[in-house]
Amino acid sequence: MAQVKKAAVRDAILDAAFRLFRAHGYAATTITMIAGEAGCSTANVYVYFPSKFRIAFTLYDSWFRARVEALRAHVHALPAPRDRLFAILHALWCEIPRADNGFANCFMEAISTLGPEDSYEPTLLRWAEAQIGALLRDCLPEAELVAPVRLARVALMAFDGFAIGRKLSPDGACDHATIEQMVDLLLPPRPARRQAKASSQA
């Protein structure tokens, strides 16, 4: 007879895993630890999740989507394209890598230890590329030579690097000066644009 799954038990497992992943990281957290923290047996954890990776992915999926949704709401409230672009890069390269004791790094750990028994569907990645690409498109109306989704892919790859870098150095997240320079590269200040246009017409 199949065991009846209960939402409360599943939530307890996820809550316990989130606390442990934040405190100890992915590799140092075991299913036994999660079960103890959740108040259930190890076997019961496997009733709800086939692997530790699946627990981490379930947590990260909702965690990251919530942050991108919050970023989208914040960016849409900013009137100036440069402010919107800075906000996008600052969130991806500074704020989210630092959030919840560097929880993003925990998922990088999980991905790096992915075994053949674990399957990974890039649904979250494709969703993030589409969302960030749309935000970048609204900031960079003149960037017609590069598809916004490609810029989003580069921004997200940098996000992965900053998330990993935070573990190597707690202060390793991107700084404001670096983001300002990237904003200038992608969206040059108006005087520079006029000067570049005049030079091209000379």
Helix axes 52-76, 96-112, angle to 10 degrees: 150
Q: Are 162 and 91 in contact (CB under 8 A)?
A: no
How many structural domains compose the chain? 2
Same domain, 39 and 97: no
Domain end, chosen from 11, 33, 49, is at 49
Query: What is the DSSP secondary structure assignment for residue 27, as one 8-state letter?
Result: T
Its pTM stands at 0.85
Asked whether residue 199 is assigned to any structural domain, the reply reads: no
pLDDT at residue 61 greater than cutoff 80: yes
Percent of the chain with pLDDT over 70: 86
Of residues 140 and 68, more confidently modeled: 68
Same domain, 33 and 58: no
Q: Confidence class of residue 2 from pLDDT cuts 50, 70 and 90?
A: very low
Query: What is the DSSP secondary structure assignment for residue 95, as one 8-state letter?
Result: I
The domain containing residue 27 runs over which residues? 1-49
Give the residue among 184, 172, 176, 167 at the shortest CA–CA distance from 91: 176
Identify the pLDDT of residue 116: 74
Same domain, 34 and 76: no
pLDDT tens per residue, range 110-137: 998 887 777 778 899 999 999 999 999 9
Q: Confidence class of residue 174 from pLDDT cuts 50, 70 and 90?
A: confident
Asked whether residue 150 is assigned to any structural domain, the reply reads: yes
Q: Confidence class of residue 192 from pLDDT cuts 50, 70 and 90?
A: very low
Asked whether residue 118 is assigned to any structural domain, the reply reads: yes
Q: What is the mean pLDDT of residues 35-50?
A: 96
Q: What is the mean pLDDT of residues 61-80?
A: 96
Same domain, 68 and 147: yes
Percent of the chain with pLDDT over 90: 68
Identify the pLDDT of residue 124: 94
CATH assignment of the domain containing 39? 1.10.10.60
Identify the pLDDT of residue 120: 77
Helix %, strand %, coil % for the chain, to 5? Answer: 75, 0, 25
Give the residue among 56, 50, 35, 63 at the shortest CA–CA distance from 118: 50
Same domain, 43 and 141: no
Same domain, 29 and 95: no
CATH assignment of the domain containing 116? 1.10.357
